[in-house]
Amino acid sequence: MGDPSYMSARELVAAIGDQTLRSEELLDHYLDRLDRYNGQINAVVTTDPDAARARARAADTAAARGESWGPLHGLPITVKDTFEVVGMTCTAGAPELKDHRPARHASAVERLIEAGAIVYGKTNTPIWAGDLQTYNDVYGTTNNPWDVTRAPGGSSGGSAAAVASGFTALELGSDIGGSIRNPAHFCGIVGHKPSFGVVPIRGHIPGPPGRLTGADIGVAGPLARTVDDLELALDVMAGPDMLDRSGWNITLPDARHEAIRDYKVAVWSDDAFCAVDPAVRDMIEGAGTALSEMGANVDFAARPDVDMQESHEVYYALLAAELGAGLPESMRRKLRDKPPADDDHSHEAIFARGAVMDHATWLDLHERRAGLREMWNRFFGDVDVLLCPVMPRAAIPHDQSGSFGKRTVEIGGVSRPYADMIVWCGLTCGVYLPATVVPVGKTDDGLPVGVQVVANFMEDRTALHVARHLEKAFGGVIPPPGFAT
C-alpha cells in the first residue's frame, strides 16, 4: 500500500478492516507528519496521543477478530477546537477557556466516535470562531499550506489546513458565516454545510460551555478530500439530538436524479452588490460549462427572485442577534446608547442594530427570512442546483490589523470592506440551505478556488451528487506543493 497521507477516509477504513493497514500505524503516520509539517502550518494545536493509541490498538484487535465498530472503524481524525472532546481542552481560541476540559463530548463528536473514529487532535480557530482568518492569543496563527503568507480561512481554518496538509482524512467543522466553506475554498479541499438542523450542534463553543441549545443559522459539518467522504460523515452525524430524538428522525431524500444529463443547473457567478474577482468568476462559469459538457441543462441567467442586498441585510442582522447575545453588557449598552442612523446600511451598522434588537424586531426579521426561503423553494422547483462563488476572491494575505469591521480586502483590484467576503456564503446561510464546496481550479498565482453547489433545504444529497461530477471533471483535491510525501 502507498502513502496514506492523501488516501480517502473510506479507503483508510477499508484498509484497517482488512488489516493491510493498522489503525495504530496510521496514527503514528499522522503524528510523524505533524512533526514534519505542522510547525510551518500550525493547524493541529493540541493532541491526546496516549488515549488515541490505546483506542487504535483496541480497533486493531477488533479488526483481527473480524469485528467492526462502524463505518469509521479505527480512523484517526482531528476536529475543530470549538467542539468539546473529553480528554482535551476546548478553547474556541479564547484565552478565558485555555484550561477548559469538558466532561462530555459534543453530540457530533460523539457520533463520529460511536462510528469508530479516533479523535487524536484539535485544530485551530479564531477567537470565539469569529473571523475569516485563523489566529488567536492561545495558539497563534494558522497558515495556508498553499502559501504560508496567506490565511487558510476561518473559522474552520485549522480544520481545512489539516486536511490539505495530510494530517487527517476527515475533519469536523462548523459554519455560521461560511466557516466550513471559505476554508475549503482557500485550502483546496471539499466541505459540506448541511441543511440547518441536520447535524446537532450541542457541545459547540460558542455558545458558552454547557449550553444545550444550538445557534440560529449555525451548523456542524464535515471537511474532507473526497465528496464521498463528506457524505459518509454526514450519514454518521445526521439525526436529532438527545432532546428531540424520541419523537422524530431525519431521512434525507435521495439526489433528484441519477444521471447528470437530467439535472437543470443555474450558474450565478457575479452580482453588482458583491462583485467577484474576474478569475474566480471565470472558474465558477467554467464549472457550469463542465457540467454542460457532461450533458446537464445549464442556465447562466436563471436566478432566484431574491435581491442579494435584501438577503444579506436579513442574514447579517440575524447573525448579529446570535453573536450579540454573547457580547459584554458594557458593549451592548454602548450600542444601544449610540445606534447608527436608520439609513446606514453598512455592515457595521447592520451588526450594531442587530446585536441589541428586541424580540419583536427579531420576529419581523424571521418573517422576512421565511419570505426569502419561500422564494428559494420556488426557484428550486424549476432548478435542481445553483453554482455560485464561495467568496469573491481566493485566499487573502494575513491581516490581523484592527477589528473585523475596520479591515479592507482587495477584490479584483478594488479595496472593499472585509465583511464583503461573507456575502456569497451568507446568501445560503440565513435561509438554511445546504451547500457543498469542491475545488474547480487555481488562480495564476497557484491559489485554489472552490465553487458552492447549493440545493434546496434538506436536499443535501443532490448538492453532493452534483459536486461528485465536478470533482471528477476537475481532478478533485490535490496536495499543496511540497506536501505530497
Tell which CATH classification among 3.80.30.20, 3.40.50.720, 2.60.120.10, 3.90.1300.10 matches the domain 4-237: 3.90.1300.10
Interval 364-388 mean pLDDT: 98
pLDDT at 146 over 80: yes
Give residue 332's pLDDT band: very low, low, confident or very high (50, 70, 90): confident
pLDDT in tens, 429-475: 999 999 999 999 999 999 999 999 999 999 999 999 999 999 999 99
Tell which CATH classification among 3.40.720.10, 3.40.50.970, 3.90.1530.10, 3.90.1300.10 matches the domain 260-455: 3.90.1300.10
Q: Which pLDDT value is given to residue 330?
A: 79
Lowest-confidence region among 39-53, 235-249, 380-394:
235-249
**Region of residue 471 (phi > 0: left; psi between -120 and 50: alpha; otherwise: beta):** alpha
Q: Which pLDDT value is given to residue 112?
A: 98
Give percent of the chain above pLDDT 70: 99
Q: Which pLDDT value is given to residue 85?
A: 98
Q: Which pLDDT value is given to residue 132?
A: 96
pLDDT at 327 over 80: no
pLDDT at 15 over 90: yes
Lowest-confidence region among 34-48, 98-112, 142-156, 209-223:
209-223
What phi, psi does 343 have (nearest 5°)? -90, 10
Q: What is the 3-state secondary structure (H, E, C) of the chain?
A: CCCHHHCCHHHHHHHHHCCCCCHHHHHHHHHHHHHHHHHHHCCEEEECHHHHHHHHHHHHHHHHCCCCCCCCCCCEEEEECCECCCCCCCCCCCHHHCCCCCCCCCHHHHHHHHCCCEEEEEECCCHHHCCCCCEECCCEECCECCECCECCCCCCHHHHHHHHCCCCCEEEEEECCCCCHHHHHHHCCEEEECCCCCCCCCCECCCCCCCCCCCCCCEEEEEECCHHHHHHHHHHHCCCCCCCCCCCCCCCCCCCCCCHHHCEEEECCCCHHHCCCHHHHHHHHHHHHHHHHCCCEEECCCCCCCCHHHHHHHHHHHHHHHHHCCCCHHHHHHHHHCCCCCCCCCHHHHHHHHHCCCHHHHHHHHHHHHHHHHHHHHHHHHCCEEEEECCCCCCCECCCCCCCCCCEEEECCEEEEHHHHHHHHHHHHCCCCCEEEEEEEECCCCCEEEEEEECCCCCHHHHHHHHHHHHHHHCCCCCCCCCCC
Q: Which pLDDT value is given to residue 266?
A: 98
Q: Which pLDDT value is given to residue 295?
A: 98
Give residue 88's pLDDT band: very low, low, confident or very high (50, 70, 90): very high
Give residue 154's pLDDT band: very low, low, confident or very high (50, 70, 90): very high
Stretch(es) of the chain classified as CATH 3.90.1300.10: 4-237, 260-455
Give the residue, 352 or 289, on which the prediction is more confident: 289
Give percent of the chain above pLDDT 90: 86
Residue-averaged pLDDT of the chain:
95
Q: Which pLDDT value is given to residue 25?
A: 98
pLDDT in tens, 162-210: 999 999 999 999 999 999 999 999 999 999 999 999 999 999 999 889 8
Q: Which pLDDT value is given to residue 404?
A: 86
- pTM assigned to the model: 0.96
Q: Which pLDDT value is given to residue 204?
A: 96
Give residue 399's pLDDT band: very low, low, confident or very high (50, 70, 90): very high
